Chain A
Amino acid sequence: MLERDSELRDLQAMRDVLTPSELPPRPGIEIGSAFAPATDGVAGDFYLVAPGPDEDSTVFAVGDVSGKGLEAARRATFVRTSLATFAGFVDAPCQLLELANQVLVERTGVSSTFVTAIVAVVHPRAGRLEWASAGHPPPLRLDTGEMLNGRRAAPPLGVSASLTCHNGRETLDPGAGFLLFTDGVTEAHKPRRELFGEHRLVEVLRELAGSSPSAVVRRLTADLRAHAGDILGDDLCIVAARMRTA
């Protein structure tokens, strides 16, 4: 019983690190985020917003560890911490994922417990977004829900010693934005019923075109909860960002 209590305490402490309720303000970007844990236990979703190596770059990451419980949360904490550390020195998304993969494999060896992650780096002054995915759904444009099609995703982190990864690149004009999310969003559903799916996600993004990132994530979270009947089979993790216009 005591052991169970201390495990829950550890999980809660890690959860605060993995998905902090306050994100740091970043120059030129408005950001909204939401996290909702799976109903029957903590899974391994995380997000990160961190300063890049120069003052105009911000590194975003969203990730999802397969499995649940303390071990999944530990793995998620490790990957998030690695990405946060490297973000201060490297702002090429693929390189960040490759480094995270390398330290993860060095620490735990190649494993079938894997971590999917997407890294997006924004340069507001240059109006540029670069991203790369390791087994993770691609970013969507805010306002249209259009999928940003980069190169094919690399395999998830932790399953092989090396990661071959490709950067995608898009222009982000003032006022434009993007959405990062975990598969708990598109896969939210009542048992044996239809998934929330990409089409519903796109509908919400179109309907809320021009709204603040916080308003978008709030509405999405409410719709997802309603669709899933308030029982979430998996964590939900959403980060929305929009370039400021002035």
Chain B
Amino acid sequence: MTDIYEAPEFAAEAERRGPVAVVSVVGELDIATAPELQAAIAGLEPGFEELVVDLSGCSFFASSGISILLEENARGAREGFRLVVVKAPREVQRIFDLTSVDEMITFRDA
């Protein structure tokens, strides 16, 4: 059963919808792919009011990703945008519950 499962290739795609910037994460965010999420966020044209990081297609989320979210949350407080994270699938979302990071970041149901 284990080897049939294959997660999709990693991708972090950014788009701008008026005042809202959306970065969608697909596949496994680990220490190797985390810089791609960082780059996708850094590539956004500034001036958005809300940054949505959509993890609904994310199959793995490592602690390096949590650092990025905490960093963006802090930057949002400094620069005046709101970070909202669209919840990952249940088994991936558990990391935020386990680490109590869900108390520090705003999550929205997928």
Residues in B52-101 with C-beta less than 8 Å from chain A: 59-60, 62-64, 66-68, 70-71, 74, 95, 98-101
Q: Is A91 an interface residue when CB atoms closer than 8 A count as contact?
A: no
Known contacts A112-B70, A187-B60; decide if A153 and B6 are in contact (CB<8 Å).
no
On chain B, the number of residues with a Cβ less than 8 Å from chain A's Cβ atoms is 30
A66 touches B32 (CB 8 A): no
B67 touches A135 (CB 8 A): no
Residues in A108-125 with C-beta less than 8 Å from chain B: 110, 112-114, 116
Residues in A150-170 with C-beta less than 8 Å from chain B: 152-156, 159-160
Q: Give, as a whole number of angstroms, the nearest-CB distance from B24 to chain A.
A: 18
Q: Give, as a whole number of angstroms, the nearest-CB distance from B96 to chain A.
A: 10
Q: Is B39 an interface residue when CB atoms closer than 8 A count as contact?
A: no
Contact of A137 among B28, B60, B98 (CB under 8 A): B98
- A-B pair count, CB < 8 Å, reads 75
B6 touches A66 (CB 8 A): no
Q: Give, as a whole number of angstroms, the nearest-CB distance from B71 to chain A.
A: 4
Q: Is A208 an interface residue when CB atoms closer than 8 A count as contact?
A: no
Q: Is A183 an interface residue when CB atoms closer than 8 A count as contact?
A: yes
Q: Chain A residues near B104 (CB, 8 Å)?
A: 155, 159-160
Docked Cα-Cα span, A153 to B100, in Å, equals 6
Closest partner residue, chain A, to B71 (CB atom): A112
Q: Chain B residues near A156 (CB, 8 Å)?
A: 99-101
Closest partner residue, chain B, to A158 (CB atom): B70
A233 touches B31 (CB 8 A): yes
Stretch with Cβ within 8 A of B (4 or more), from A16-24, A47-55, A190-198: A190-198
Contact of A114 among B60, B66, B98 (CB under 8 A): B66
Q: Is B45 an interface residue when CB atoms closer than 8 A count as contact?
A: no
- Among B64, B74, B95, residue most surrounded by chain A Cβ atoms (within 10 Å): B64
Known contacts A135-B98, A135-B99; decide if A192 and B27 are in contact (CB<8 Å).
yes
Closest partner residue, chain A, to B73 (CB atom): A112
Q: Chain B residues near A183 (CB, 8 Å)?
A: 62-63, 95
Q: Chain A residues near B64 (CB, 8 Å)?
A: 66-67
A194 touches B62 (CB 8 A): no
Docked Cα-Cα span, A66 to B100, in Å, equals 15
Q: Give, as a whole number of angstroms, the nearest-CB distance from B53 to chain A.
A: 14
Q: Give, as a whole number of angstroms, the nearest-CB distance from A63 to chain B.
A: 12
A187 touches B100 (CB 8 A): no
Q: Is A143 an interface residue when CB atoms closer than 8 A count as contact?
A: no
Chain B contact residues, CB within 8 Å of chain A = 2-3, 5-9, 27-28, 30-32, 59-60, 62-64, 66-68, 70-71, 74, 95, 98-101, 103-104
- Additional pairs, 18, CB under 8 Å, beyond known A67-B64, A155-B99, A191-B28: A38-B31, A66-B63, A66-B67, A110-B74, A112-B67, A112-B68, A112-B74, A114-B67, A116-B99, A135-B100, A152-B100, A155-B104, A160-B104, A183-B63, A192-B9, A193-B3, A233-B32, A234-B31
Q: List 16 A-B contacts (CB under 8 A).
A: A64-B63, A66-B63, A67-B67, A110-B74, A114-B66, A114-B70, A116-B99, A137-B98, A153-B98, A155-B104, A156-B101, A183-B62, A189-B60, A192-B9, A192-B27, A233-B32
